Amino acid sequence: MTTLAIPAPRSWSIFEARAGQRLDEFLYAELPEVSRHGIRRLIALGFVTVDGQARTAGYRLESGGNVRVPEGLERFSVAAEELDLTVLFEDESLIAIDKPSGMLAHPTSKERTGTAVNALMGRLGGARPHLLHRLDRGTSGVLLAAKTENAAREFGAMFESRQIAKRYLALVAAEPDWNHLEVDTRIERYNDGRTPKWNTGESGSEALTKLTKLRGRLIQAEPWTGRTNQIRIHCASIGLPIVGDEAYGGPHAERLHLHALELEFRSGRYAGLIIAASGNSIAQEMRYPDR
């Protein structure tokens, strides 16, 4: 791929969903077209700032902070691709798709094609979308992106203030003996070589997931914070790992049985709007797991 230079400085406001993330990992996700070596070098040289101060690569971001990268950084281009894409909602500000399991949301330094961003760029005529939240590779369902930086700021703030609710379906390893449960175990990242790196920990960030039993082993999960792997970790922490989530002790399956079912706008100009991926094949399979 060809290289180019960033023509102007880039900056991001840190929302709740990204709080606690390392500075270098945040930039790997936000600038996947930049080599990891290049990002680490700029951080080490003090060119990347958080709230106006140079920080180390391992600095943990805080909600409300601002990350800034200077102009002139060489990067690799991200290609727009014509990929099959199920669009759930689209207007001048937002686009929501039904991301299939197995598809990465962002390109990475090792995997630059076939991602949701590549597919969205193909639909948007090459314009780069701003993903407003994260879905793991294995998780299917609603993925929302803003078309402009102004929209990204507006709706990013709504996610942070929980004015956009996220609801997931999960098929767990055993039938719960409760109807409703709140799990508030803290989540932290471990850098001692263990896998998975993210798990429960007393010194981690606060996390809250509300769980509701629907039928049999099928539950609904509503995360009130946006920690990495939060639903997967919280389900495993109560002895109910998700089917297909072998990393956290779940039984083997062809895919992770976690599906981003819907987003609900609770205020603002989209108040009352629900964007749902209820027609997804895995969603239907999960609703009737014993058929």
CA–CA gap between residue 43 and residue 23 (Å, rounded)? 9
Task: Note whether 217 and 175 are within 8 A (CB).
Answer: yes
Q: What is the rounded (10 degree) CA torsion for 229, 227, 78, 40? A: -110
- To which residue do tokens 């990347």 refer? 48
Per the annotation, the verdict on 136 as an active-site residue is yes
Q: Do you find a cis peptide bond into 9, omega within 30 degrees of 0?
A: no
CA–CA gap between residue 219 and residue 211 (Å, rounded)? 7
Question: 170 φ, ψ to 5°?
Answer: -140, 135
Sort residue 44 into left (φ over 0), alpha (ψ -120 to 50) or beta.
Answer: alpha
Q: Which two tokens stand for residue 177?
A: 């003996």
Q: Which two tokens stand for residue 161?
A: 């203030």
Question: Could you tell me which residues come within 8 angstroms of residue 37 by beta carbon, excluding any fewer than 6 positions away?
Answer: none
* CA dihedral sign of residues 159, 164, 165, 171: negative
Burial readout 170-181 (b: 16 or more C-beta within 10 A, e: otherwise): bbbbeebeeeeb
CA–CA gap between residue 135 and residue 2 (Å, rounded)? 28
CA–CA gap between residue 83 and residue 142 (Å, rounded)? 17
State the catalytic residue, choosing from 24, 84, 98, 136. 136
Show which residues are catalytic: 136
